[in-house]
Amino acid sequence: MKIIITNSQYYHQKYGGVSRYSSCLADELTKKNVNIEVIAPIYKNRYLKEISNRNNIRGIYLNSYPNFNFIQNINNKLTEIYQMRNTSSILHDLYYPEHLINYNRFKILTIHDTIHEIYNNLYKKDYYFFRKKIIEKYDSFICVSEKTKEDFVNFYNVDDSKVHVIHHGFEHLINTKIENISNSNILNKPFILYVGGRFKYKNFNLLAEAYSKNKIIHENFNIICYGGEKISKQEINYFYKLGIENKIINIRGNDNILKGLYLKSKLFVSTSEYEGFGLTILEAIFLKCKILCNDINVFRRLYKNSINYFNFNDINHLIFQLENLLINKIDSTSDDIKETIIKKYTWKNCASNTEKLYKLFVK
């Protein structure tokens, strides 16, 4: 059994949840001696660069390259050539490919979420019809949660029997060394941690406004935004109007810094209105953070009462919960369920379940 693995986001993402999943899955499959070949002709993704066994990667790592269409076209053409020449049993695309190719082999596609479909009004490009054409070419699908499966099946009218739910994991942070961040002047004050993108459905401004309305909290805690977009002029103006322009700090870096921030934070907050899985939540649970999240379906189903919630997009309840967790030290979560989640959602399980799926379709 030989498997081709591709991910169009290796070309686009230096860091990100899709490429994190892809690299961790490839790493675990290699440890299980599954015969895989990762096709990434040109890539800047750091997770793929740092994978433990690089012998099965077909491509060249570049720290950066200009965002020119002709470079992307070269990458896509090389991907096509690699795939056409390879005699594998299965092609597994870990994200939507950027163009349609017909291959005479079994094809699996991983679906991470239906954000572009649900929030299509927030995006300049309509992804639906192109994705529908792609989906019609695949034989089986992996969804990262039951909620993602439900939404995917409903949007694209896919046969439920073709869709398999396989969750993410957390082990990528187990052996990560912690960056020494304790001496940083930025981190001398206690802080709330926010990880990832802040725009559109991520809804960060809800946290910024709630934070600004409680004097005790914004005088005694900063907000650290790790990763995501650089703070824009529009955001700076908004934070200035709220009187918190010096309280929101954007930090970028690697997993060593991220792990240190998780461990040092007083509270991890997610205001997202929709997620396919919520990998940062799992990371925070593993590192024993106090967690507060927008009350959305996928979090309730995956994480149950291992985390704290505020009523969906309710700023008053968000303020109330911030006070409970940061000032009154009231945390209503269950340690037993946290332990259950850590045992259940692992990259090892993800790879084992993915391998089982491969074996179903190998003659």
pLDDT computed for residue 363 by the predictor: 61
Work out the pLDDT band at 187, boundaries 50, 70, 90.
Answer: confident
The closest of 215, 322, 194, 320 to 262, measured between CA atoms, is 194
pLDDT computed for residue 362 by the predictor: 78
Whether pLDDT at 356 is above 70: yes
| 335 bridge partner residues | none
**What's this model's pTM, rounded to 2 decimal places?**
0.95
Whether pLDDT at 125 is above 90: no
Work out the pLDDT band at 34, boundaries 50, 70, 90.
Answer: very high
Q: Which of 62-71, 97-106, 275-284 has the lowest mean pLDDT?
A: 97-106
Whether pLDDT at 252 is above 80: yes
Region 313-320: mean pLDDT is 98
pLDDT computed for residue 218 by the predictor: 92
Work out the pLDDT band at 183, boundaries 50, 70, 90.
Answer: low
pLDDT computed for residue 268 by the predictor: 98
Q: Which of 170-174, 208-212, 252-256, 322-326 has the lowest mean pLDDT?
A: 252-256
In contact, 172 and 20? CB cutoff 8 Å: yes
Q: What six digits make up the tokens of 66? A: 């200009």
pLDDT computed for residue 36 by the predictor: 95
**What is the per-residue pLDDT across 46-58, written as a single tens digit (0 to 9) for each?**
999 999 888 899 9
For the chain, list the domains and their CATH numbers: 2-169+346-360 (3.40.50.2000), 173-344 (3.40.50.2000)
Work out the pLDDT band at 182, boundaries 50, 70, 90.
Answer: low
Q: Which of 27-31, 137-141, 175-179, 330-334 has the lowest mean pLDDT?
A: 175-179
Q: Let me know how long the chain is.
A: 363
Q: What percent of the chain has pLDDT over 90?
A: 85
